[in-house]
Structures are given as structure tokens and as C-alpha cells.
Amino acid sequence: MTDIPLPVLTAAVAMALALPLLGWALVSRPAPAVVQARENLTRGLDLGSPGRARTGSRPGAGLVRALTPRGTVARLNRLAGTAGRPAAWPLSRLVAAKLVLAAVAAGLGLLVFSSNPGLLPGLLAAAVTGVAYFLPELLLYSRGQERQQAISLELADTLDQMTIAVEAGLGFESAMARAGKNGTGPLAEELVRTLQDIAVGQPRRDAYLALAERTAVPDLRRFIRAVVQADQYGVSIADVLRTQAQEMRLKRRQRAEEKAMQIPVKVIFPLILCILPTLFIVLLGPAVMDIVAAFSG
């Protein structure tokens, strides 16, 4: 194994430390146009100076987008939509994080491989680089799965609230607004966003279908399809809500029963690998020691 010169090692460590700082400096602050748009949505319609919004392009954002394939950007955009588009992780920051993490992992892997050449270090460096590149997507996918499960659990109760509101005399959109106002989970946020889309002029059918596409929850997509058909053919929305609420409660109970049936199967492996060997050692250990002592004596 050849020794690496100290200046080369120092330069490699400095580069590995500088890359995350460079990436963070490029994408840590949101563009002033985005900040101004958020303030307008939350505080009113004070547009301010338009020239200020146009000067908000972040340096290096075009370079980061150029180094990322278009399919990767579209996949990140879809995963971010499923995860609820966290405010702390805009799309530009996700794209830059993939490049920065992959560059840092590749630099460290190259450093390890140069100090200890071989097949195993090379494969390990390539695997770590690949995992670092796909780490933001894995985190987004995990958060999206959790969000979808939360929406599925909240859907039955939300439909019950909307059914009660519609039967009390409110319209469907008013019932949706009340459910979104009273709720605190991701489903309430999606309902509020759908109402905002309708308020700015988007057709109701398109807003409903966008809700189903955004969340990618099969139960919610089925409910949206039923609502769209009811609106198209003039079916009573109260009957649709009542039927869908009953179906969602039945499916939620079936999912709970399915998970309860899976518990014995999942317990078998820890029982066989961890509990039974220890139990055998405690119970049979003294007897085996007595038998060994009797035969050896």
C-alpha cells in the first residue's frame, strides 16, 4: 500500500468539506420571488416592486439543473408532490443535494480506493456513491408513504364530517371547506389547496382530479372519481358521501384485521432467532453441564 502525500490528503479533505458548504450556499436561501409569492398568499395581494422579484435567480441554479437529467427532475417533482412539498426542501435544493452528496461520497470513495486499491474498496465506493445520490429520493419516498397512510386513515372520518355537513344543508364545497378547517392532517391541507385551486378559476373537475393525482392514494382517487361522476350525471352528493364513508370505514377495519393477522407471522422470526435459543440455554444448560461432568468423571 502506497502512502498518500500529506498535501494530497489535505486537498482531498478540504474539497470534501467545501463541496457541502458550496451546495448549501447555492440552495440554502429561497429565491426572493418565491418568498414574495408566499407572503402574497399569506398576507394579501401586496405585490411590491416587480423588479425586485425578477432579480431573485439564485447563482448556480441553472448549472445545477443542467447537471441533472430531466427525468430525474420530473421524478423528484412527483415525489415532492406526494410528500406534500416540504417548505424546507424545494425542488432546486433537492436537485443540488443529490449532486453534492454524490460528489462528496465519490471524493471520499476515491480517496479510500487510492489508499487501498482493490475490488472490494472499489465496489464499496461505488455503492456508497449510488446510495448518496439517491438518498434524497429515498427520504422523499418514505415521507410520501407516511403521508399517504395518514390520508387513508383520515379519509373515513373526514367523509363522515362532510356527510353530516351536506345532510345539514351545506353544499359539497362548503362541507369540504369545513372539513379542511377543522382537520389538522395532510388530508385537510389537500382539501384546502383544492378549494384554493377552485377559487382562482380552475374547473372543479380538474381540481378534484388534481387532488387525486397529487396524493396518489387509491381510496381517495376512488372517492374523487365517484364525486366527478355524481357531478356529471346529477346524482345526489349526499348519497355518494354516505356510501363512500361506509366503504372507507369497512376498508379501514379490513386493513386493521389484516395487520392483526400478520402479527403472528412477524413474531415467529424474533422468537426463533432470539428468544428460543436463550430459553434453551437457560433450561438445558445446567443439565448438559451435569451430563458432561458425569461422563468425564
The per-residue pLDDT for range 271-285, each reduced to its tens digit, is: 888 888 888 888 888
Q: If pLDDT is split at 50, 70 and 90, which confidence band does 10 have?
A: low
Domain with CATH 1.20.81.30 in the chain: 149-252
pLDDT > 60? residue 104: yes
Higher pLDDT, 21 or 85: 85
Once rounded to an integer, what is the mean pLDDT over residues 15-37? 58
Distance separating alpha carbons of residues 100 and 133, to the nearest angstrom? 8
Find all residues with CB under 8 Å of 69, minimum gap 6, and list them: none
Q: What are phi and psi of 65, to 5 degrees?
A: -65, -35
CATH topology of domain 149-252: Receptor-associated Protein (1.20.81)
pLDDT > 70? residue 3: no
Residue 48: predicted pLDDT? 42
* pLDDT averaged over every residue in the chain: 78
Name the residue among 102, 175, 90, 202 with its Cα closest to residue 140. Answer: 90
| 141, 162, 166, 207 from 178: Cα distances, Å | 30, 8, 11, 18
Percent of the chain at pLDDT above 90?
9
Higher pLDDT, 166 or 26: 166
Distance separating alpha carbons of residues 204 and 283, to the nearest angstrom? 69
Residue 17: predicted pLDDT? 59
Higher pLDDT, 130 or 115: 130
**Radius of gyration for the chain, computed over Cα atoms and rounded to the nearest angstrom:** 28
Residue 49: predicted pLDDT? 41
Q: If pLDDT is split at 50, 70 and 90, which confidence band does 195 have?
A: very high
Task: Identify the residue whose cell numbers are 502512502.
Answer: 3
Residue 209: predicted pLDDT? 92
Once rounded to an integer, what is the mean pLDDT over residues 185-200? 90
Task: Identify the residue whose cell numbers are 393477522.
Answer: 261
Q: What are phi and psi of 274, to 5 degrees?
A: -115, -45
Find all residues with CB under 8 Å of 231, minimum gap 6, and list them: 204, 205, 237
Residue 56: predicted pLDDT? 40
pLDDT tens-digit readout, 41-80: 554 444 444 443 333 445 555 555 566 677 778 888 888 8
The conformation of residue 273, written as its DSSP 8-state character, comes to: I
H helix intervals, 28-49: 32-43
Once rounded to an integer, what is the mean pLDDT over residues 219-231? 89
Higher pLDDT, 92 or 38: 92
Distance separating alpha carbons of residues 37 and 118, to the nearest angstrom? 53
Once rounded to an integer, what is the mean pLDDT over residues 181-210? 90
3-state DSSP call for residue 199?
helix
Least confident among 32-36, 49-53, 87-91, 208-212? 49-53
Distance separating alpha carbons of residues 174 and 166, to the nearest angstrom? 8
pLDDT tens-digit readout, 139-191: 889 999 999 989 988 888 888 889 899 988 888 889 999 998 888 889 999 99
C-alpha cell at 256: 386493521
Q: What are phi and psi of 231, to 5 degrees?
A: -70, -30
